[in-house]
Amino acid sequence: MSLAGLFSPRWPGVALFDLDGTLVDSAPDLAAAVDTMLEQLGRRKAGPDNVRNWVGNGASVLVRRALAGKADWEPATAKDEALYKDALSLFFYAYEKANGQHAKLYEGVEPCLQRLTEYGCRLGVVTNKPEQFVAPLMKQMGIDHYFKICVGGDTLPVKKPDPAPLIHAMEALGGTRGTTVMIGDSAADISAARAASIPCVAVRYGYNFGAPADALRADATVDSLTQLL
């Protein structure tokens, strides 16, 4: 099931990767920041298991889910809006300190990145994580040198599942829809790839809001990125 021949007769010219849940298990850092935020608000900690199911739509949605303790939450009153803004500021401050402290690369990530680089594939990261946290995490994980572009959740006016971040990265790397693949772990990744008409791969070990990755119906679903080699 290598990428060579999976979508075309040759290796893709461009490979775009999600970050959290695809390249890096960052949930421990995110959970630490969420719990610090909640404690400072006088609330009960959420814990890593809940946070894993809330990751994928960016920091603002993660904070809303943490405040609600469930899938989503929107401020209904001016008081709620003020609480959300305070909570988001507390989260950003806590995550800046926690980012990369407990995270780790998933097994198989570095061999995959190394091999694709050797084959001349141009690599990019397209994540919903705020841009200010992307480069520090990738540097901490020792993978920043593989990537020629990183698109964060606030790099453009929209984020995944909107296709614009994928198209932006693909075009910046000189790719086309016939020579580019998107690899991610969640519905946001696969939906964005579908909307961009880019072939996509889902990994089973990620977050995906607690749902099985096979239900995403990506063009391929793998247990490790090494399966793509």
Q: Which residue in the block uniquely carries the two structure tokens 């570095």?
A: 110
Map 117-131 to HEC letters. HHCCCEEEEECCCCH
How far from 170 is each of 24, 145, 149, CA to CA, in Å? Answer: 21, 18, 9
Q: Which of 18, 20, 29, 189 is catalytic?
A: 18
* Residue 52 neighbours by CB under 8 Å, 6+ apart: 27, 31, 207, 210
Distance CA 166, CA 151 (A): 8
Catalytic residue check, 18 = yes
226 near 108, Cβ under 8 Å? yes
Distance CA 173, CA 13 (A): 9
Active site residues: 18
